[in-house]
Chains A and B, each alone.
Chain A
Amino acid sequence: MNEPTDTIKSHAPLRPSGIKPETCMACGTCSAGCPITGMEGFDPRKIVRMVLENRDQELIDSKLPWLCTMCGKCEHACPMGINIINIIRDIRGQVDRDKVPGQIHKGVELCLETGNNIGLPGEDFTFIIGDVAEEMAEEEGFEDFVPPIDKKGASLLHTLHNKLVNTQNEDLVHWWKIFHAAKEDFTMTSENWEGVNWGLFSGDDEAMKIIVGRIVDHMDTLRIEHLMYPE
């Protein structure tokens, strides 16, 4: 029998040790470590087994890859070092984009279109930042705080988690306060300010690269030397 070549087994990146999934001993240590083994048919050992049997389409059509939090406890425990998380992400990447559950791909699409995962218009972003900063400047010690946006030659780029300009405005100030106290020369950006890259979760390398590329562009355009990893 000819082995199919374009399978999850063949293209899910291996772990740094280079160990192939074929070395699986079916010991089940992965499943013992996984907190959701048995839930809705989820079982990392079985998923590896299905990959070895080239049952790719079954996995792609199931909701199994989306139940996993990709926490890596399974592969951390795996005595062979099999690439279970990369297998999960590879399956996710092969699902038709309109069948990706919930907000994961919708967020990626919005980010590509608008520069952030929630599609927040620029004027709303500027308003929220200004409003929260004004309130913060009423606190002792932060009276002269002005939120830096698109500051050329700043030392540090600070991207934002979309939650902070959505449902958790009150959490915007923590880093601003730390930067202010540390006299850090930081800046945020008015466009493409998103710090979170859901292409990682949706298995979409193309989108992920575009979104990372925007950070590189900010650093070049604004001549910023340092980046704060957003997550």
Chain B
Amino acid sequence: MATRSGLEKWFPEFFEKHKAFTVFDLLVTYISSGRITLDKNLFTMKIAYHDPCNYGRKSEEKFGHGYYEEPRWILSQFVSNWVDLYPAGANGYCCGGGGGTMLTPYKEVRSHYSRKKIEQIKRVNPELIVLPCHSCHGQIKQALAENNMDIPVKYLWEIVAEALIMD
């Protein structure tokens, strides 16, 4: 998001010569064009999807498009039982690790912040949490550990990579 807003603000001519893609754009293109094929029998457990603020609300605000549908479309291509946390999308809760707060010493506030995410996760009780953000990945893993919850967390592209069918 920083790169995209920086390019748009300071290097608008960049887009005359180049095209730029989000992680979702690439995955949707590869899957829909058949450049990659995914095993549909690998992810049958209950998976909860977490919306990062940067790809949702913040992208909607800054770039006029929030990435809510794309990750869900990607999941639907090969994951049989994925669920949303509630509330999701634009009304979703931050994990507590956004805005660089993972880099600050205010760990207590971060833990307090994540209680909302933990409540959401408990309500759904998934076997795996999938998300597309490095900060959310770190923060949710930490929050689960603090709450003695043994649920693995994976990147969206991680489960795509695991499901690849190689010729």
Contacts and interface: CB of A to CB of B under 8 A. Distances in A.
Q: Do A and B bind each other?
A: yes
A201 B103 contact: yes
B19 A226 contact: yes
A197 B2 CA distance: 6
Contacts of B46: none
B164 A208 contact: no
Contacts of A163: 134, 138
Contacts, number: 187
Contacts of B112: 35-36, 39
Contacts of B22: 228-229
A229 B105 contact: no
Interface residues of B, number: 56
B1 A200 contact: yes
B11 A182 contact: no
Interface stretch (A3-11, A48-56, A96-104): A96-104
Interface of A: 15-16, 35-36, 39-40, 42, 63, 66-73, 75-76, 85, 88, 101-104, 107, 140-142, 156, 159, 161, 163, 171, 173-175, 177-178, 181-184, 195-202, 208-209, 211-213, 215-216, 219, 224-231
The 9 A-B residue pairs whose C-beta atoms are closest, nearest first, are: A201-B100, A141-B166, A71-B94, A212-B6, A70-B99, A69-B98, A197-B2, A200-B2, A102-B104
